[in-house]
Amino acid sequence: MPSESLTGRVHEQRRIRELLSDAREGRGAALVLRGEAGIGKSALLSYAERAVPSLRVLRAYGSEFEQELPYSGLHQLCRPMLRYLPSLPARHGDALGVAFGLAEGAPDPYRIGLAVLELVTAAASEQPLLCLVDDAQWVDGASSRALRFLARRVAGDPIAILFAVRTGAPPDSFAELPGLVLSGLSDDEARALLAARSPFPLDDQVRDRLIAEARGSPLALLELPRAGGYVPPAPSSVPSRIEHGFQTRLDGLSAEARLLLITASADPTGDPGLPWTAALHLGLDLTITGSEAAGTGLAEFGHRIRFCHPLARSAVYRAATPGERHLVHRALAEATDPATAPDRRAWHRAHASAGPDDRVAAELEQCASRAQDRGGIAAAAAFLEQAVALSLNADQRITRTLAAAQAHFDAGTSETTAELLATLDSTGMGVHQRARVDQMRGRIAFTRDHDDAGPLLMVRAAQRLAPVDRAAARGCFLDALEMSLVVGRGGGVIRQVVAAARETLPPPASRTASSAPDLLDTVIALVTGGFAEAAKWTADEWTEHPALSTMIAIELWDPDTHADIADWLVKVGRDAGSPLTLRLGLAQKAVAATMNGDLGQAITVTAEEAAIADATDAVPLLHHRLHLAAQRGRRDEFTALAFTGPTRAAAARVMNLHSSAATLYNGLADYPAALAAARRATATADAFLTGAALPELVEAAIRCEEPAVAVEALEALTARTEASGTTAGRGMAAYARGLVTGTEDDFRQSIELLTEGPLTPYLGRAHLLYGEWLRRNARRRDCRPHLRTAHELLTASGSEGFAKRAADELRATGEKVFSRPGDPFESLTMQEVAIARLVGAGATSLEVAAQLFLSKRTVDAHLRNIFRKLGLTSRRQLKNHPGL
């Protein structure tokens, strides 16, 4: 333990020592220190640096003035470890090399997180690491995503990560990580700190008023005396008064020394080469001005330039006059090499501009393009927004405003998008530009709760484009439909979109009755009941609208096409390195596996989708999770996903929520709840995705003695399945018809048809329904074989609710039902199931680590847990383990 302890921080220091001790023993973790500026976060980071000398320390600093430069913060942290780059797999080493400007090309943000994890764990294999990130709220967005991913993945490695985040700054992007909130010092602690550290003698009255004014801020207690011993009460915050205290140190400085400090504050890299060169451009005598500037104690001028506190840097910069800032940034721009650092040079040139300048605006536009190529969407948005402010040419200003608005939307700052769009004058825009504005406003609406204007804004864009660009107009209509379905909006909006599409874009006269409809015409046919027309669809537009394509396949009970789309999406996503496409494909593979009764596959691809979402800082998709929990009969799990916790709002926007709930409740024999859910799933005039809910509605309605409801649902189901003609659809319709008519041949036909296909749980349900029907008709001997088959099929497919129904029916016939031996899925976590199946299929630990975005050490730790839980001793035993 270090000899120096921090006043009033006993608990925090103990927590940090525990974190470092755990890391040294291979149990990595991250901790976020939160508090207002000056509360002691930086002091605690310094304490951590001294606390355990055996840890190698890496540091990075966020800078308010450098947020526009993607991966700049990550580069600071990783620069001492770059010698390990050659040991990384080539694609990961290349991704980091490009991100850090060491190689040409566009980095793959999808791989950056894993690449950083591999780099850091390679370094930690030689010596445990402590990573310190101060002022993390100012770290650029690309770095922030990678650092958060790293923090969530070091549990099995000798790595400790400490972040310091200022409250009251931008939204806390590290909120998900474990943290400590630093409170102010008590009066007694403040007196003790002043007694030990104050550079000036204080009488009791001044000391007590200073303590009252500092409000428990350690930095305020130490800095305010420098501003004259006492700062009179003012309405400004404590951090503002601390900045004022730092700014008073500028009083009495020569203009040259002041300008040198401002120059250093305007360049956050810490590399003295650039400020020194800029100072020479300013004509400063470095020997004299450097000594005078260092004498203030605000900054150290050595092999790196370091300000005494992040607030000191911002205080100096904010104290500068506009003229001084323009002068300093112009000098820094002149000192920056345009070949090796064009973005930083353009950034300084922009801040040096006193008014519009189209040449600088053009440079910023090029910076935005480079930033976008490097995965810095937020940086591109910032560059483009500055370019707009400097644009003189009206046409270029419109073009750049639209580009900046799009970049801000892509970066997740949709409110800034709306503000930029509001500055546009439509009289100077063309048709495509006006349509683009409508499209962006529509997409903004989709991001807001209780705002249903989005689809109709997309319709307006389509109507603008129809006379000049029919293909683009069709795309707008499809966007409106797809987005409406994905977010689960009701109120007849889809029918409004369809009506507008039919009126705006009638089918061309050249189209024949036998020709296959395109995707838009297929959706129109489904919404308007033209199932035979929709069944001609050939699914040629998977790439542009995969969500709509999968919905059509499910609506028509076409599991083969659905599986083909899922496989295609996964392949394209992997080949193209597209996280979103891959996640969509994995989610659909999970749905297909659940419908086929392959529980292990469903869990494995669900775990992979979650890992990719985590790696790309996205929210895991929900629809396949809801479907899996419902099919398994997991009421608590389904309720947690759909109605409680952080996923509740997202679940309310998922299209299959009520359909999945109906499946869950039918499996649990809670037929009133199933009927209510199925009615909700099929009631909206908007959604055409009702096919999956119709068999559930028939069963629940029959059990609740609502025959009219069941008959109507059967007619709707039959219209779809007869049009598509699939074996699966006909089999589903047959057992639904058996429930309604009580005809034995319908149940038999259902079993025959479903036996031909892959839908094992539904085949099990067909046997269950037939067995239940036979028992209710006093045919006990005949019902038992079907109930036994149902129990076996449903148990094997993980349909626990329906399997229990089969078991209860068997017991009612007097037959004993033996429970199945321990299910491996019960003892393993979802991630462990995925690892076990991948290793069982022959994957190495490194391959599993890459696929699930884990470190190799973490995979090996999970394998040890898997072996212990399953009673295994080797990887070979996983290959043929029952259930896996």
Summarize pLDDT for 573-594 with one digit per residue, the tens. 888 777 888 898 999 999 999 9
* pLDDT reading at 489 higher than 60: no
Distance CA 517, CA 510 (A): 12
DSSP 159: E
Burial category of 519 from C-beta neighbours within 10 Å (exposed 0-12, middle 13-18, buried 19 and up): buried
Which residues have C-beta within 8 Å of that of residue 598, sequence separation ≥ 6? 797
Question: Angle CA(91)–CA(137)–CA(5) in degrees, nearest 5?
Answer: 105
Burial category of 447 from C-beta neighbours within 10 Å (exposed 0-12, middle 13-18, buried 19 and up): middle
Q: How many Cβ atoms from other residues are within 10 Å of residue 295's Cβ?
A: 11
DSSP 69: S
3-state secondary structure of 731: helix
pTM for this prediction: 0.79
Highest-pLDDT range among 44-53, 83-92, 544-553, 676-685? 44-53
Which residues have C-beta within 8 Å of that of residue 546, sequence separation ≥ 6? 565, 569, 581, 584, 585
Q: For residue 768, what pLDDT band results from cuts at 50, 70 and 90?
A: very high
Chain-centre distance of CA 564, in angstroms? Answer: 27
Distance CA 574, CA 568 (A): 10
- Average pLDDT, stretch 44-70? 86
3-state secondary structure of 285: coil
Distance CA 633, CA 640 (A): 13
* pLDDT reading at 430 higher than 70: yes
Chain position carrying tokens 């909206």: 684
pLDDT tens, residue by residue, 637-656: 999 988 876 666 666 667 78
Q: Quick one: pLDDT at residue 650?
A: 65
List the end-to-end C-alpha distance of the chain, in Å, as a whole number: 48
The answer to whether the CB of 97 falls within 8 A of the CB of 90 is: no
Distance CA 534, CA 519 (A): 9
* pLDDT reading at 733 higher than 60: yes
Q: For residue 239, what pLDDT band results from cuts at 50, 70 and 90?
A: low
Of 95-109, 169-183, 272-286, 436-450, the least confident: 95-109
The answer to whether the CB of 721 falls within 8 A of the CB of 732 is: yes
Greater confidence (412 vs 53) lies with: 53
**C-alpha distances in angstroms, 276 versus 224, 263, 282, 323, 813?**
31, 9, 10, 20, 91
Q: Please give the mean pLDDT across all residues of the chain.
A: 86
* pLDDT reading at 707 higher than 90: yes
Highest-pLDDT range among 69-78, 474-483, 654-663, 665-674? 665-674
Question: Angle CA(193)–CA(198)–CA(201) in degrees, nearest 5?
Answer: 120
**C-alpha distances in angstroms, 206 versus 8, 198, 224, 240, 638?**
22, 12, 11, 20, 62
Q: How many Cβ atoms from other residues are within 10 Å of residue 460's Cβ?
A: 21
- Average pLDDT, stretch 680-701? 83
pLDDT tens, residue by residue, 281-330: 888 887 788 888 888 888 888 777 878 877 788 888 889 999 999 999 99
pLDDT tens, residue by residue, 509-536: 666 555 667 888 888 888 888 888 888 8
3-state secondary structure of 542: coil
Distance CA 495, CA 229 (A): 72
Distance CA 520, CA 465 (A): 16
Distance CA 687, CA 495 (A): 9
The answer to whether the CB of 320 falls within 8 A of the CB of 259 is: no
- Average pLDDT, stretch 82-103? 85
Q: What is the CA radius of gyration of the chain?
A: 32
The answer to whether the CB of 483 falls within 8 A of the CB of 446 is: yes
- List, as one string, the DSSP characters of 186-206: PHHHHHHHHHHH-SS---HHH
Task: Give the rounded percent of residues in the chain with a pLDDT score beyond 70.
Answer: 88
* pLDDT reading at 540 higher than 80: no
Chain position carrying tokens 């100077």: 428
Chain position carrying tokens 């649990």: 668
* pLDDT reading at 231 higher than 50: no
Q: For residue 1, what pLDDT band results from cuts at 50, 70 and 90?
A: very low
Q: For residue 709, what pLDDT band results from cuts at 50, 70 and 90?
A: very high
The answer to whether the CB of 182 falls within 8 A of the CB of 189 is: no
3-state secondary structure of 662: helix
Q: Quick one: pLDDT at residue 233?
A: 43
- Average pLDDT, stretch 823-828? 74
Distance CA 517, CA 440 (A): 28
- H-state helical runs in 336-413: 342-352, 358-373, 377-389, 394-410
Q: In the numeric block, which tokens belong to residue 442?
A: 């529509």
Which residues have C-beta within 8 Å of that of residue 612, sequence separation ≥ 6? 110, 579, 582, 583, 586, 618, 853
The backbone region for 329, taken as left when phi is positive above 0, alpha when psi lies in -120 to 50, beta otherwise, is: alpha
Q: For residue 84, what pLDDT band results from cuts at 50, 70 and 90?
A: very high
Task: Give the rounded percent of residues in the chain with a pLDDT score beyond 90.
Answer: 42
Q: Quick one: pLDDT at residue 593?
A: 96
Q: Quick one: pLDDT at residue 731?
A: 96
3-state secondary structure of 828: coil
Q: For residue 35, report the phi and psi dihedrals to the nearest 5 degrees.
A: 170, 170
* pLDDT reading at 232 higher than 60: no
pLDDT tens, residue by residue, 123-172: 999 999 999 999 999 898 889 989 999 999 998 899 999 999 998 766 77
pLDDT tens, residue by residue, 867-881: 998 888 888 888 877
* pLDDT reading at 386 higher than 90: no
Q: How many Cβ atoms from other residues are within 10 Å of residue 140's Cβ?
A: 24
- Average pLDDT, stretch 689-702? 92
3-state secondary structure of 438: helix
